[in-house]
Amino acid sequence: MPEAIGSKVAEFGRHASPGSWFLAKDSEIEEQRELIPYSHYLRQAWTELDLSGVLCVDGRPAVYLCEATHFTPDQKRDRHRFAWNQGLVPLLIFVTPNHVEVHSTVKMPAKEPEGGGLFESGLSSLIPNLGNIAEAIEIARFVRSVETGQFFQDNAEFFPPDETVDRCLLKNLVHTARNLKATGWDLPRAHALLGRALFVSFLDERKFIKPDYYPDGTTSLLDILNRPRVDEIKRLLYREFFPRLKREFNGTMFDTALADEERHTNKVHLDALAHFLGRHDAESGQMTLGFWAYDFRFIPVEIISAIYEEFMKDADLIKKRNEGAYYTPRHLAETTLHVALEGRYTGVLSWRVLDPACGSGIFLVAMFNLLAEQWRRENPTRREHTRAKALLDILQKQIRGVDVNPDACRITAFSLYLALLEKLQPIDVEDFKKKVRQGPFLPALVWTKTDPIDTPVVLDGDFLSDELPLENDFNLVIGNPPWESRGNEQIALRFALRSADFLRSGGVGCLLLPSAILVNRHGTLDGDWFRKVTVEKIVQLADFRRVLFEATHACFILRYKKSAPILEHRVAYETPKLSRFDRRQGVIVVEPDDQKFVAQRDILEAALKDTLQTIWSRKFWGTPRDEAFLRRLDFLPRLSEALEEKRWKVGVGFQPFYPGASPGEPKPLRP
């Protein structure tokens, strides 16, 4: 990195608004507590890209800046490929004495230089027609447009969601899994094989797999799959390579299911896997420029979540609807974690965390990353086996997850293995084996009733009804429990009520819940709940219902403390609104007018009058004048009191039809 940032890069920092941060050197990363979830990736980018600065907007990294006297096309292409793989920031800027180039890191990387050079050729990631933003006044306008989101709105064609790193790889994974299913395999077996292939690729590119781990005459998994005879491939794969990895790493990825998989594997399955790893488009069968660009050292956790969502799509639709299973996008998980730890970041290193419906493990991975970062900051000089042991202890002693779906448990274990190894180097693992413990490095994580391991991290079971080996002294219960909108049978409500039983006194619960259990007339959080725990904050995200999930679902974030509230307590109620100008993924801005408070006395009084739900609805859109007007109306007779009950017809309005899940046949709307 240059010894000092140049004047042009400095201009980007000078024009950042007070709510934004500009990092001029990597040592400044640790000065912002809100950046703890991104610290590892920012340091990684600073090293790999030789950054000159990072602009952070709304608590998230938004722009990487690289400055030099000259960048070759290869240098630009390599930096863009890294930023695309990392999937953290949407913009990468190259600053030279004569040019300032702005590139979208959402656009797929190019394999070959186009024309005479990156700038002149109009590479697809380069956003043209920005004018001379090398001038200070243009830099100021550019920074402001990034902060408001207007830049992304004006240049929407350069941020296509189907070209992001997760979508590109996911497309190949999904089609390969479906190709395997078409041969007679069930999806769990297909996903297990593909997950293992990804894991091996990750281990290989991170240099955890030594050359002698591979069978003689091969140097990669693809080499094994390209052998001419099926019996030879199966022998090398299932009798030599996978068993060797099991001895070295153990873990859930190389379990006893390998024998059953080997019996059901034939040439068509091996060809499908070789096609996938050979960088072909699994849908078209043609070589694709997108897949070659993927770097398995940086498998984002949202890809694991997306895999979970995809095989849930292929599962029984009735079962999915009954269980209310929807995966949590990465940015929403990060927002929920920030709400959970707001004002508590400094004291979480010893916390024990439970996700009662872990799904793909996105909350557990996020919390593990945060605890690992806190440990690194408090132990900056410790290395090798000490670091490996500390991170293993965090994983095994402080992280717990539960899910009723065994495939979700397996994917959670996969995600946690990636998170652990991402923080280590091969020398850490080797030193650990020499000085701490011989044998496999990765511990078994998944507990089942038929295989009750001694130290369960991910438990296969029903949080609501099964007897599980879980303590009741967790510091934090966090997650996105299943949603099922049928009044008193709402599953998410039962999860919310039960979650407090596993917290220690003063522990924190933070759950992502459907808005129905807050604002509906029945099956909601009632006065008893608000008397039992201290609800600290509610973030109502109903206005984002069309952008947070694939389906339209209104939700809110609930944070509470396990302690009896005092009457003078006030609940913070935030009601952010979606701006049509801002299309940045994951950005939720809470304006001053959307920051409200509800007195504990008012909550308990409304609960006694059976009007608690109206408080949240009125404060969502209403101004203080609106609320005053509605309070006056409350003194007047209600319409229901003036009419006979039999004249009212109760209904739920138009409902969507789910093929295979909804009863009967769809009915067209009549004019």
Pairing of strands 534-540, 570-574: parallel
Any domain includes 22: yes
Question: What one-character-per-residue DSSP string does 153-185 give?
Answer: HHTGGG--GGGSHHHHHHHHHHHHHHHHHHTT-
Q: Does the pLDDT of residue 567 top 90, yes or no?
A: yes
d(CA 88, CA 61): 7
Residue % of the chain over a pLDDT of 70: 83
pLDDT score recorded for residue 129: 67
pLDDT score recorded for residue 585: 57
> Is 81 found in the same domain as 223?
no
> Is 127 found in the same domain as 180?
no
- Please compute, for residue 218, the number of CA atoms within 13 A of its CA located in the half-sphere on the CB side: 20
Q: Mind listing the pLDDT tens digit for each residue in 347-369? A: 899 999 999 999 889 999 999 99
E-assigned strand segments in 316-395: 353-355
186 Rama class: left (phi>0) / alpha (psi -120 to 50) / beta: beta
pLDDT, average across residues 208-230: 92
Query: Of the residues 270, 299, 328, which one is the last residue of a structural domain?
Result: 299
> Is 630 found in the same domain as 485?
yes
Q: Mind listing the pLDDT tens digit for each residue in 621-656? A: 888 888 888 888 888 887 766 665 556 666 667 776
What values do phi and psi take at 511, rounded to 5? -125, 145
Any domain includes 360: no
Please count the residues of the chain. 671
3-class state of residue 564 by DSSP: coil
Please, what is the Cα angle at 604 between 600 and 606, to 5 degrees? 115
d(CA 277, CA 375): 36
Any domain includes 649: no
Query: Of the residues 266, 299, 332, which one is the last residue of a structural domain?
Result: 299
Q: What average pLDDT does the structure give for the chain?
A: 84
Q: Mind listing the pLDDT tens digit for each residue in 475-492? A: 999 999 988 755 456 789
> Is 231 found in the same domain as 154?
no
Tell me the CA distances in angstroms from 366 to 4, 93, 399, 413, one per residue in order: 33, 28, 11, 13
Tell me the CA distances in angstroms from 583 to 151, 543, 546, one per residue in order: 9, 14, 12
pLDDT, average across residues 175-190: 87
Query: How big is the chain by its Cα radius of gyration, in Å?
Result: 27
> Is 191 found in the same domain as 64?
no
Query: Of the residues 284, 299, 314, which one is the last residue of a structural domain?
Result: 299
pLDDT, average across residues 316-345: 73
Q: Does the pLDDT of residue 207 top 50, yes or no?
A: yes
Any domain includes 270: yes
Structural domain containing residue 590: 481-634
> Is 627 found in the same domain as 506?
yes
> Is 228 found in the same domain as 152?
no
Please answer whether residues 345 and 36 qualify as being in contact, where contact means their C-beta atoms are separated by less than 8 angstroms: yes
> Is 179 found in the same domain as 111?
no
Any domain includes 507: yes
Any domain includes 470: no
pLDDT score recorded for residue 227: 92
> pTM for the full model?
0.85
Q: Does the pLDDT of residue 43 top 70, yes or no?
A: yes
> Is 585 found in the same domain as 627?
yes
158 Rama class: left (phi>0) / alpha (psi -120 to 50) / beta: alpha
> Is 23 found in the same domain as 140?
yes
Banded model confidence at residue 590, pLDDT cuts 50, 70, 90: confident
pLDDT, average across residues 549-560: 81
Closest CA to 101 of 118, 85, 115, 89: 118
Place of tokens 């069968």: 285
> Is 236 found in the same domain as 143?
no
How many of the other CB atoms lie within 10 Å of CB of 329? 21
Q: Mind listing the pLDDT tens digit for each residue in 508-521? A: 999 999 998 898 87
For the chain, the domain total comes to: 3
pLDDT, average across residues 399-427: 91
d(CA 558, CA 509): 8
Banded model confidence at residue 341, pLDDT cuts 50, 70, 90: very high
pLDDT score recorded for residue 463: 96
pLDDT score recorded for residue 161: 84
Q: Does the pLDDT of residue 5 top 50, yes or no?
A: no
> Is 203 found in the same domain as 131?
no
pLDDT score recorded for residue 596: 92
Please, what is the Cα angle at 134 between 128 and 137, to 5 degrees? 105
Banded model confidence at residue 588, pLDDT cuts 50, 70, 90: confident
What contacts 615, CB < 8 A, 6 or more positions away? Answer: 598, 602, 603, 606
3-class state of residue 502 by DSSP: helix
Percent helix, strand and coil across the chain, each rounded to 5?
50, 15, 40
Any domain includes 325: no
